[in-house]
Chains A and B, each alone.
Chain A
Amino acid sequence: MSYMIEGSTGAWEVVIGLEVHAQVISKAKLFSGASAHFGADPNTHVSLVDAAFPGMLPVLNRECVDQAIRTGLGLNAKINLMSRFDRKNYFYADLPQGYQISQFEFPIVGEGSIEIELEDGSVKNIGITRLHLEQDAGKSIHDLTPKDTVVDLNRSGVALMEIVSEPDMRSPEEAGAYLRKIRAIVRYLGTCDGNMEEGSMRADVNVSVRKPGEDYRTRCELKNINSIRYVMQAIEIEAKRHIEIYENGGEVDQETRLFDVARGETRTMRSKENAHDYRYFPDPDLLPLIVEQSHVDHLKSTLAELPDDKRNRFQSEYGLPRYDANVLVAEQDVANFFEKVAKNRDGRMASNWVTGELFAVLNKQGLTIHESPISADALGSLLDLIADNTINGKIAKEVFEDMVETGDMPGDIVERKGLKQVTDTGAIEKVIAEILAANPDKIAQYKSGKDKLFGFFVGQVMKEMQGKANPAIVNDLLKKQLS
């Protein structure tokens, strides 16, 4: 059932479009040689171009262009072989040139689409309108001194990709799934690190509501939201605000708004009357950007594997169910970890251990896959010990817990604790004989049709052997003895 918000006049549909600003991974800025590295001391990564000194000119960084093309290919989008840089004019203290160089009329990437997957397993296509390159502004800091605003220009001129979606999303969940998918794609491609909390990925959210079947109503733009959770919250809050206005007989004004996380509300940032007139025009300092098709083809042929492709491959190569494969590919590092574990081993078993035991430990300890206390190699050798019958699955869990605690290799743990599985039929037969001898009444019950007691016998044998008996052999021998 699709997401609707129930108002006093009935159900409302929410219409959402997103503009994602993704900072390009590149050594240098979009139009200057200054470093684009995050986290340096204020105003240490600023060239004369970034500070807009007189007579300074922009020179396009081709690596940023390639990153935009790669991203466009990842969004299944059209790459425009001719694009153009325009100036977006406005005054602000952290915008040294007095204009931002952007691509207004002719973006480098045109229409595309991506698939998102929802909790109920359904799949939806979200249209991409365009992707364009633009400069980031600097940072104004208003609370460092009581009276003054200070400006850090380190980010001034850093390359951003603005990825604009069609208004195709209908729920906070879809918006969240879309953002996660965009983030996965850019991370896979190495074109943006996707770290929203550091601000290297931010979203402007366009929200409107309507009665099912209606045309679009007026939208509001929520600026600069830096977490997926906040985006989802903001959509719901903003949609409810619209509904309340409409249901009270009012009209929504088209405006730019801010989402105040602490107060859980949105408020006006700029009304339509105060909207900037950006006076876009082609930047005369830069020539039109021409890209050769052969270059696009080359980038395509060397493109990293995308999340969807990896999922499909995991399904076919490792026999994983789609859901499990999706869980594994959501983050590239997890997918890589999994593949290291699964290589030349049972893929489903590897997937179960990674998404089961390992994820449980990581969640519990609040760790990323990078910080995993168990390496892919170590987990792999644990799986090997199961596969070659050195230990059984149950013992493996015990070994796993020991690995988490001690960091020891599973082989050493098995050795140290003497957990090696018993496959000696003689030894097992001996224990079976003892168990059967001690439980004549249970044998009688079993033979009179109480099949479930078979498990009791298995359990008793395993218990007697501290879990180390090979379960398959125990089963076989028990069946023989009881028949």
Chain B
Amino acid sequence: MLTGMKITEAVDGLRQKKFSAEELTKAHVNAINKLNDRINAYITVTADAAIEQAKAADQKLAAGDAPALTGIPLAIKDLFCTKGVKTTAASRILENFVPPYESTVTANLLRDGAVFLGKVNLDEFAMGSGNLNSAFGAVENPWKRQGEDTFLVPGGSSGGSAAAVAAQMAMGATGTDTGGSIRQPAAYCGITGIKPTYGRCSRWGIIAYASSLDQAGPMGKSVEDCAIMLQSMAGFDPKDSTSVDKEVPDYRAACNRSLKGMKVGIPMEYRVPGLSPEIEAVWQQGINWLKEAGCEIVDVSLPHTKHGLATYYIIAPAEASSNLARYDGVRYGRRVDGASLDELYANTRGAGFGDEVKRRILMGTYVLSAGYYDAYYLRAQKVRKLINQDFMNVFDKVDVLLTPTAPTAAFAKGENQEDPVQMYLNDIFTVPASMAGVPGLALPAGLSSQGLPLGLQLLGRPFGEETLFAVGSAMEKAANFTHKPTLRAGGSL
């Protein structure tokens, strides 16, 4: 099965001429054709362009000058602007927007030979934890509870990315992570994803949600696949003033590093009340694996963790309220006319934005308003500094932190939906690292009693991605997570 392979295997197979790039891409296009009506992972499928790219890849492979990702079919989160290809942010307001430019991250992937299968679903403007806030409909998690056919969410906001990879409708996918949007869906869909250090990947051409937190990263079937993808995606970009001018190390090589003498911190604040016993058990299992791999386990404290979520839900909406002001119906995107300019704004934005986006714009506008700024935004910025300081303090003592990725396994559509705050709690373990800008890798570590994947998260020092890949690879070997979701290419559907 071509769709069942990892990128590492496909890279070798293409070079050994076991199959062509065209065959590989067509296999994935077939999987999309078969599964997308049900899973709804893709908003836009660019099958014809993908096959053309694959043919070009075959020529490069034949000529022997093929860069790392040549012929590897990927799914692109529909938050990355792609030249000439509709880019919607899963919003009505951009439903027909076709950018005349290519985001830096996707341009890097194209430079390295990747094939783009299409644009995948997400929570509108990356706001959500269940991919339920998409103007193009919810995405179904390919995983099923044992003996049930309940519609489970893939997590969010990169839900389409995670579902596409899990269901083998793409070999890998790009995601973006603002408060956990790569890591949480990776956990819910039993795949691997890394949110790199803030500044590692350029944000240029990625539709902004919360600029000081947004960071692109890869989602894939293995740690090494993520390493290969990040190698291509990362790098300094003068067009993004917050991108960092630092050489990109050899991430794939880092996957084989020894863990001898490495110190792993276990933050006690992550043992939150209500943590599922199954998650706790997987966490303990992860600790044991790392001990066996030669790591020293150290209990550490990140005392301001409990303020992370509240802080996030001030800073992210504040930035979003400003970032989304440009969607006004004047220059591009959807416009709903009105008798006055103000009415045009109100009509356009009223019709163009979904409820969650409106909610966050309102929250953000509120916390920045005169009289509330000091109490909310300014205070949140101070707490953010403290959270960052927590991480810097523990990284004086340990090399990496091990935590759960999400407090539960994937939940069903309909659950958690009444109370937005309950939904926000999904990000409780992922948000602090976003606030601190440190990298986080999520990988599957086991199954729940209902047969759903459970993930663990590794957090590293700023620009400590190599350590995450090294520790992640070791855990991946120990976990030997080979389970497959019900809905997948070659599956029973």
Contacts and interface: CB of A to CB of B under 8 A. Distances in A.
Contacts of B212: 284
A93 B341 contact: yes
A91 B345 contact: yes
B81 A54 contact: yes
A277 B328 contact: no
Contact of B81 (A55, A96, A149, A284): A55
B211 interface: yes
Nearest to A91: B345
A89 interface: yes
Nearest to A286: B241
A321 interface: no
A60 B238 CA distance: 10
A96 B326 CA distance: 6
Contacts of A53: 99, 101, 331-332
Contacts of B345: 91
B210 A55 contact: no
B241 A54 contact: no
Nearest to A275: B370
B322 A279 contact: yes
A281 B326 contact: no
A11 interface: no
Interface in B45-101: 80-81, 87, 89, 94, 97, 99-101
A149 B338 CA distance: 13
B322 A87 contact: yes
B207 A54 contact: yes
Contacts of B210: 284
Q: Quick one: which of B239, B324, B330 has the most chain A CB within 10 A?
A: B330
A277 B370 contact: yes
B377 interface: yes
A322 to B, nearest CB: 48
Contacts of B205: 55-56
Interface string B330-367: 11100000000110010000000000000000000100
B319 A98 contact: no
Given A48-B101, A89-B325, A58 B319 contact: no
A285 B242 contact: yes
B99 A51 contact: no
Interface in A250-299: 277, 279-281, 284-287
Chain B contact residues, majority secondary structure: loop
A54 B325 contact: no
Contact of B89 (A54, A56, A59, A92): A54
Nearest to B364: A279
B241 A281 contact: no
B242 A279 contact: no
Contacts of B319: 281, 284
A57 B105 CA distance: 14
A279 B332 contact: no
Contact of A55 (B103, B325, B342, B369): B103
A289 to B, nearest CB: 10
A151 interface: yes
Given A59-B241, A285-B241, A99 B331 contact: no
A52 interface: yes
Contact of B369 (A60, A98, A279, A287): A279
A97 B81 contact: no
Given A55-B81, A87-B322, A287-B241, A281 B331 contact: no
A52 B341 contact: no
A154 to B, nearest CB: 14
B331 A52 contact: yes
B94 A54 contact: yes
B207 A55 contact: yes
A287 B377 CA distance: 18
A392 B153 CA distance: 100
Contact of B368 (A48, A91, A279, A287): A279
A55 B206 contact: yes
Contact of B328 (A56, A91, A149, A287): A91
A440 B81 CA distance: 105
B312 interface: no
Nearest to A149: B341
A92 B241 CA distance: 26
Contacts of A281: 318-319, 322, 368, 373, 377
A52 B326 CA distance: 6
B328 A55 contact: no
Given A48-B101, A53-B332, A277-B370, A99 B207 contact: no
A97 B325 contact: yes
Interface string B185-212: 0000000000000000001111110111
Given A55-B205, A57-B203, A281-B318, A96 B238 contact: no
Nearest to B370: A277
A435 B365 CA distance: 96
Given A96-B331, A279-B365, A57 B241 contact: yes
A58 B326 CA distance: 14
Contacts of B318: 281
Nearest to B89: A54
A428 B341 CA distance: 86
A54 to B, nearest CB: 4
A52 B365 CA distance: 20
A281 B103 CA distance: 26
A60 to B, nearest CB: 7
Interface of B: 80-81, 87, 89, 94, 97, 99-101, 103, 203-208, 210-212, 238-242, 318-319, 321-322, 324-326, 328, 330-332, 341-342, 345, 365, 368-370, 373, 377
Give 5 closest A-B pairs by Cβ, nearest first.
A98-B325, A284-B212, A279-B368, A284-B211, A52-B326
6 contacts: A52-B326, A54-B89, A55-B204, A59-B238, A59-B240, A87-B322
